[in-house]
């Protein structure tokens, strides 16, 4: 308590009235915490919401604790959610490409950011008395840094998950393309070929197999094949898949053969992969300069010049 009072007096700059401000702050915090707990518990176990779901004809299944907490915290982050459409679409796209496709994924993401931005500075302030070597100003700076980390770390984690999943899809795309060519040339239609490829890749590349199954599910419920393929490209975010979808869309509109289109794109994709491999191989010489300079050359010089230096030192010692 004394430590928090010192922090409050440091922030306010008035040592005479910090006690009254401190007591008022604690009272307001306790009141808000109590009201928040009452609101959350009321939202989770509200019989009114359950009755409304029964009237609407929804099945009264018991949600998990995480779903209850997400529903309860959803109104608390309405003011934090992005208002601009492009920002909303950007964050939603990242979540979809990272594999988070539930309706409340965006709300949960901002709930996590809000909780981290509040809890991390609070933890730093509360743990400050355990480290008396730090001054109050240093603790406040550490709390500010912790709050910034709580706001920006979730974005980096989401970006990392997005890139990791996109890499898995990129690794499985060449095999899927070859299987599509084989199935199409064997006489299967596009829908049947996609379904067959999804089954074949379910063990080796489950992420890509899941995306292909979503295409079939959308087509079965009445979505146009062109629109389903575009959704597939947007969900993955890979330029290679976008090029394949563009070719398939053009082929479907013009009525040309799917098998010929897939074979042409497969040949172009193989050439592209070969060019990328050659580019990576050409960069190896430049990338090996730093390991050679730091690791190999010192040992090489020690072996070659070391004996000569020892002989020169022995010769100078004999002269002295």
The DSSP secondary structure of 96-157, one letter per residue, reads: HHHT--STTHHHHHHHHHHHHHHHHHHHHHHHGGG-TTS-HHHHHHHHHHHHHHHHHHHHHH
What is the tens place of the pLDDT at every residue in 38-60? Answer: 655 555 445 555 555 556 555 44
Residue 159 within a domain:
no
121-to-6, 115, 116, 149 alpha-carbon distances in Å: 16, 10, 8, 10
Residue 59: strand, helix, or coil: coil
Stretch 188-212: mean pLDDT: 87
| pTM for the full predicted model | 0.64
pLDDT at 148: 85
pLDDT at 60: 47
Q: Which of 32-36, 115-119, 197-201 has the lowest mean pLDDT?
A: 32-36
What is the tens place of the pLDDT at every residue in 214-223? Answer: 888 888 888 8
Rounded to whole angstroms, the Cα distance separating 314 from 80 reads: 75
Sorted by sequence, the CB contacts under 8 Å of residue 291 that are 6+ apart come out as none
Cα-atom radius of gyration of the chain, to the nearest Å? 31
Q: Which of 120, 110, 109, 115 is nearest to 36 (CA)?
A: 115
Q: With DSSP H G I counted as helix, E B as strand and the rest as coil, what are the percentages for the chain, rounded to 5?
A: 85, 0, 15
Last residue of a domain, one of 45, 62, 79: 62
222-to-22, 189, 197, 226, 227 alpha-carbon distances in Å: 62, 17, 21, 12, 10
- Per cent of the chain over pLDDT 70 is 72
Residue 141 within a domain:
no
Last residue of a domain, one of 18, 47, 62: 62
pLDDT at 160: 92
Q: What is the DSSP string of 176-226?
A: HHHHHHHHHHTT--HHHHHHHHHHHTTTT-HHHHHHHHHHHHHHHTT--HH
H/E run at residue 284: helix 258-287
Rounded to whole angstroms, the Cα distance separating 7 from 140 reads: 8
- For residue 41, give its domain range: 1-62
At 19, the pLDDT band (50, 70, 90 cuts) reads: low
Higher pLDDT, 224 or 21: 224
What is the tens place of the pLDDT at every residue in 267-310? Answer: 888 888 888 888 888 888 888 888 877 887 788 778 888 888 88
Residue 69 within a domain:
no
What is the tens place of the pLDDT at every residue in 103-119? Answer: 778 888 888 888 888 88
Does position 63 have pLDDT exceeding 70, yes or no? Answer: no
What is the tens place of the pLDDT at every residue in 243-279? Answer: 888 888 888 787 777 888 888 888 888 888 888 888 8
Considering the chain, what is the average pLDDT of its residues? 75
Residue 118 within a domain:
no
Residue 307 within a domain:
no
pLDDT at 21: 55
Does position 86 have pLDDT exceeding 50, yes or no? Answer: no
pLDDT at 52: 55
For the chain, what is the domain count?
2
Residue 247 within a domain:
yes
Does position 173 have pLDDT exceeding 80, yes or no? Answer: yes
What is the tens place of the pLDDT at every residue in 118-154? Answer: 888 878 777 777 777 777 777 788 888 888 888 888 8
Residue 178 within a domain:
yes
Does position 227 have pLDDT exceeding 60, yes or no? Answer: yes
Residue 35 within a domain:
yes
Stretch 231-235: mean pLDDT: 87
Last residue of a domain, one of 16, 38, 62: 62
């Amino acid at each position: 308590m004394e430590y928090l009072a010192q922090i409050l007096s440091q922030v306010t700059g008035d040592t005479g009235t910090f006690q009254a401000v401190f007591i008022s702050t604690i009272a307001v915090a306790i009141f808000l915490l109590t009201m928040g707990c009452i609101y959350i518990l009321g939202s989770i176990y509200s019989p009114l919401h359950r009755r409304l779901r029964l009237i609407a004809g929804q099945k009264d299944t018991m949600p998990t604790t995480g779903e209850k907490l997400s529903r309860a915290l959803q109104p608390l982050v309405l003011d934090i959610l992005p208002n601009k459409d492009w920002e909303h679409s950007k964050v939603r796209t990242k979540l979809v490409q990272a594999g988070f496709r539930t309706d409340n994924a965006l709300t949960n993401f901002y709930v996590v950011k809000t909780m981290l931005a509040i809890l991390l500075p609070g933890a730093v302030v509360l743990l400050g008395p355990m480290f008396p070597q730090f001054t109050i100003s240093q603790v406040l700076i550490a709390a500010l840094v912790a709050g910034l980390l709580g706001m920006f770390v979730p974005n980096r984690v989401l970006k990392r998950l997005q890139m990791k999943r996109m890499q898995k899809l990129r690794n499985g795309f060449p095999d899927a393309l070859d299987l599509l060519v084989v199935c199409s040339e064997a006489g299967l239609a596009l829908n049947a070929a996609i379904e067959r490829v999804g089954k074949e890749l379910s063990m080796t590349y489950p992420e890509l197999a899941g995306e292909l199954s979503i295409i079939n599910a959308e087509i079965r419920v009445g979505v146009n094949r062109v629109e389903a393929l575009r959704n597939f490209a947007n969900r993955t975010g890979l330029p290679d898949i976008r090029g394949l979808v563009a070719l398939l869309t053009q082929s479907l509109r013009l009525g040309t053969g799917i098998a010929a289109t897939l074979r042409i794109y497969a040949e172009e994709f193989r050439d592209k992969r070969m060019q990328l491999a050659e580019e990576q191989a050409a960069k190896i010489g430049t990338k090996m300069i730093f390991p050679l300079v730091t690791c190999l050359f010192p040992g090489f010089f020690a072996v070659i010049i070391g004996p000569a230096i020892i002989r020169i030192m022995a010769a100078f010692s004999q002269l002295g």
